[in-house]
Chain A
């Protein structure tokens, strides 16, 4: 019997809730339907925090849902917005994960 992956469920639910917030925020903040190369400072801050949190060893692995919640904000933003922010956040997360793996060895 397959066990319920509760930890993954928390992570995905956090990503979706973060995405809802990002979408609501971007619809309230911006009126133009599709704009590229526009950096939102709050989304960027959220993405950077999410990226950093991803590789911080917090108890009960709570860093992953928190990180995905914060990364979810630029991820869920309306089309065109939040791309650079999301790429920055994910890059920081991957870099942090690799560095943590190297230090762990």
Chain B
């Protein structure tokens, strides 16, 4: 029994490492593609993982303005949120509702991270993270649309539905688009990345450095892996997620597509970003109501 428990712990750690390495490499690939499109050499693809390791071993001090213990605990909360999302979503294929709850927790992390630092840039990043919650509004409607079609919000059931009826992306293209915009809003340098806008230095991350920044970067790597996996599982299904190698390929294709969009579009101002996301939510809501009333 104890050996079994040890095996579960090993499996959990191995999956986290796998998710971080894949997520980190994909975020590195993202930076490389954006740089190449903009005519720059760009950093090596390994740069994200190298940065994470570098920060992990750097000395840590606490800014005089930092509000402890929130300043310290928020980095741990960030990694807890995304590791929970990894296990509940990717490993156990549980409900999309739980994942949405975790995604909302991420907003608290971003907000708390910015406010606890005491820096004006961090605070502005924290406030913008509340605005950027507009990106999650389409998620509510997307889940409603998926529920109407599959009669379940459990990821395992949604994958099984697609085994019989084919990928949902062809049946619910607008829902897939709305979810894709959510992915886009999480990508660095995206038109919706108002929380990490360079005009506010590094946004909510400005005053977090050393091991705390490293932990947040690990969480961001895992987050990227989880979000891409959920998109592939919910909209393309077993065609891609039944084979880990195909999943990796799907993630590379999605990341490349997102990088292309990020490289070719300017960063929106916070009000424009929110307006566009609310517009997408409204359209998704119309789609949902149409499906409810027209069958």
Interface residues of A, Cβ cutoff 8 Å to B: 1-2, 4-6, 8-9, 12-13, 15-16, 19-20, 23, 34, 75-80
CA A2 to CA B159, docked complex, whole Å: 13
Interface residues of B in 8-22 (CB under 8 A from A): 11, 14-15, 17-18, 21-22
Further pairs besides A2-B93, A23-B44: 18, Cβ < 8 Å: A1-B93, A2-B15, A4-B14, A5-B18, A6-B14, A8-B18, A9-B17, A9-B18, A12-B21, A12-B25, A15-B25, A16-B21, A20-B50, A34-B41, A76-B44, A76-B46, A78-B44, A79-B43
Please, how many angstroms separate the alpha-carbon atoms of A96 and B15 in the complex? Answer: 30
Q: Report yes or no: B17 in contact with A23, Cβ–Cβ below 8 A.
A: no
For B17, the chain A residues whose CB sits under 8 A away are 9, 13
Q: Which residues of chain B come closer than 8 Å to A19, judged between CB atoms?
A: 44-46
C-alpha gap A76/B43 in the complex (Å)? 10
For B18-58 the 0/1 string (1 means CB < 8 A from A) is: 10011001000000000000000111111001100000000
Q: How many B residues touch the partner, as a band?
A: 20 to 34
Residues of B within 8 A of A (CB): 11, 14-15, 17-18, 21-22, 25, 41-46, 49-50, 90-93, 244-245, 248
| 7 closest Cβ pairs, A-B complex | A79-B41, A5-B244, A19-B46, A9-B18, A12-B21, A4-B11, A4-B14
Shortest CB–CB separation between residue B249 and chain A, in angstroms?
Answer: 12
| Majority SS at the chain A contact face | helix
Q: Within 8 Å CB of B248, what residues of A?
A: 8
CB distance from B251 to the nearest CB of A (A): 12
- Which residues of chain B are near A15, meaning CB under 8 Å? 25
Q: A1-B91, A6-B14 are in contact. Are A16 and B46 (CB under 8 A)?
A: yes
B19 closest partner in A (C-beta): A9
Q: How far is the CA of A77 from the CA of B43 in the complex (A)?
A: 10
CA distance A38 to B42 in the complex (A): 18
Tell me how far the C-beta of B227 lies from the nearest C-beta in chain A, rounded to whole angstroms.
Answer: 16
Report whether A20 and B46 are in contact in the complex, using a CB–CB cutoff of 8 Å: yes
Task: Decide: B42 and A13 in contact? CB cutoff 8 A.
Answer: no
- Pick 22 A–B contacts, CB within 8 A, sort by A: A1-B92, A1-B93, A2-B15, A2-B91, A2-B92, A2-B93, A5-B18, A6-B14, A8-B18, A8-B245, A9-B18, A9-B21, A12-B18, A12-B21, A13-B17, A16-B49, A20-B50, A23-B44, A23-B46, A34-B41, A75-B45, A76-B46
B22 A12 Cβ-Cβ under 8 A: yes
Residue of B42, B44, B50, B92 with most partner-chain A CB within 10 A:
B44
By a CB distance below 8 angstroms, the chain B residues around A16 are 21, 25, 46, 49
Residue of B nearest to A26 (CB): B44
